[in-house]
Structure 1
Amino acid sequence: MHKIYTSYYAWFNCTIGIMMITLPVYFCIFLVLLCMVSSVWGADKTFNVINFGAVGDGKTDDLPAFLKAWEAVCQSESSRVILVIPKRKKFLLTPSSIDGPCKPSRIHIQVSGNIIAPNTKSAWDGRATNAWLTFSNIDHLTVNGHGVFDGRGHLWWSNPCLNDNTSQETQCKGPTALIFRRCDQLRVRGVTIIRSARSHIILTACNEVSIAKIRIMSPGDSPNTDGIDVSASTNVRIHNSLIATGDDCVAIGGGSSKVNISGITCGPGHGISIGSLGEGGFEVVEDVNVRNCTIKGTLTGVRIKTWQGGEGYARRIAFEGIKLDAVNNPLIIDQFYCPSRVNCKNDTAAVALSDITFRGIVGTSLMDEVINLSCSETIGCKNILVDRVYISSVDGKPVHAKCINAHGRYTHTSPAVKCLQPP
């Protein structure tokens, strides 16, 4: 009996030993198979526009092929899908809307080639002229790559009307290059947008947006060519990008909140702006932070602009760590905004401004009035802080600050802002 027990014990120990030796091998094989299966189940499915008939010669209208490719992307059963616009190609696209919602949980548009707008205004005949390419209702969309969107806006800059005989005001506004409407969890990376007829990018009714490492370029004299316009959007981050246009580099419009702008090189253009606000009724902007930006040779530096007679409020807005280089009007609050200077309202109502911070702003101005805080007589501007702001003239001449109905304090600032409380 003892021998049987001893034999059984030896067999058990031997079996355990073999299992301990071989188990890691089987376990590794199991993990490899699991990874293989997982990679198949979660693999990105790729669609190339060339396979749907796109030519990419810069002459053929490739929109039909793009729309076919988009339909395949949007209806794909894969959870992650990539739409490829290949390099060394120019794809001519007539105006269109790229719409969702789509089945994949994530869609990635890889822009390696160039996408160009039509070279005649007639391509917009019978279509709205407010946009070239509109992306609507697409969540978890990523647009990236080293390709270029060319809006060919020079066709519109001298005459923004669809034709010389039109009398309809709506046809006298050139198209925005890219509009993203109701696109949550949007990512735009690396691409270049040039020569838009009007604004280059508009975000409207979007949430959780990140725009980074892009380039936006149009001549300084191109009219109304804002870089990025944000309206009715929340949780937006715009950073580490170059924007050179004929209007605002970035403009934050009504209904927007929790907007962070950093690492922007702006110029030429009209600087970085909140507004204009109040022209269309009650508007709200809050929790905007503009940090560590460089502004060169622009018409204005950082500003808040509101129309007389407007309603609403803008609050908790900070401009910090801004470098100015030969800027015309470096620091502005303008509650009497009326760019045409024709038929301007004379109304005491205004968008209320409060909790506005200008901190760590340094550089040079082409004007002697380097700080201008012009606020409404009845509403005024409350809780303004101007801290460590040092602005001098490019030619060494004396500079000064101007104030109307502004309330708050200033510290360590030159020139002194005497209407505010001193340190």
Structure 2
Amino acid sequence: MPLLPAPPLTPSALFVFLGLFALLTATFSWSAAHGMPGFRRPLRLWALALLCVATAAAAFLARPLLPGALAYIVPNLFVLSAVAVMGMSFAALDGGSPRRARWNWALVALTMAALLLAQAGRASYPLLAAIASLGLGLLLLHGAWLFLPQWRQRAAPEAWVLGLLLAVAASFVLRALSSASDIWRPDDQGVLAGHPMLVVGLVFVASCSLAFFSMLHERQRVALQHSYQRDSLTGLYARGVFFEKAQAVLQMANVGDAFAVVMLDLDHFKRINDTHGHLVGDKVIAHAARLLSGSVRLHDLAGRYGGEEFCLLLHDCDSERAHRFVQRVLHRTEQPLSLRDGRSLPFSFSVGFTIFRMEDRAPPLEQLLDRADQALLQAKAQGRNRAVQACSEGAGHCALS
């Protein structure tokens, strides 16, 4: 005899629990969206998905009150819609467009059309249940396919969601193929035997919610870390972070590896600020940073040294490649920046750089930057909008127009 008497878990009790859980979690998601602007869209989509779950639970409870075909159409419509919106939310959380997940709605429409046709033909309940289960299973399988890019990150929440999608999809497909009797009808065999799909749905919603917020927390942590490392105006590495990462790259380099350290400075930037204002000056800096970001490779480093000055560390870059790189950058500055008022604002770089090959140990980064900076000053002295290479330590400079 149990110490505390407990009522049996009837379908009605499970639906009430599922609806309340979904409603409370949806409220939390919607409230959290106001305090997390960067994740507002996935949070609101998740809140909408859980509202669909709560509505579906209420509709299943109210089935005796719904007339005719609505008693079966309305609950299943909200169940399918909840899964479709969950897919859109996971896609938005991954940082991309949820457009691919919108194909979920094609499966929702096909399933509902099949249900309506079967209902109009007075199909038996097992056939209606098979159609709904098959549609839901296919929708979950499509969601698992959409989730594959996230799973490649090998993180625990992503792997859990993918496994959960596949397991629940398989259970609903098997349910459809078996054409079992009414899964919502209570019997005397217990909850797991009498209402397996209801228990599966309850576990699915709760587990996906936990995984969603775990993934959200990780995305927020990465975003905060990124914001600490990047300059807010340019998106390039902040000066201290650039020094730290560049020094780490040099320490891990092999003997014989070639590097180029480049310093760039916007020409006559004070004149731009004085003539057009600091807001336009900021736009010039941001535009120049985008130009540099589009010019470097993935394994290169680009940082904002300070003000209108930038610094680069180019890996596997000998003198010839460095010359081609700076020529490409100078060529891209020939296209003036277009302002919102229709005016065109010309700008240019003065560039200094130095080349070195790794020997027994990495040279001090400050020394390399100083050599590149001295070459930059020489470029400005020669008339700006040009590049100068510091050929070797103590050997003067090699001009490159």
Query: Normalised by the size of structure 2, how large is the TM-score?
Result: 0.24
Q: When you count helix as a share of all residues, which structure comes out higher?
A: 2
Larger radius of gyration: 2
Say which structure is richer in strand. 1
Higher RCO, 1 or 2 (CA under 8 Å, sep at least 6)? Answer: 2
Normalising by structure 1, we get a TM-score of 0.23
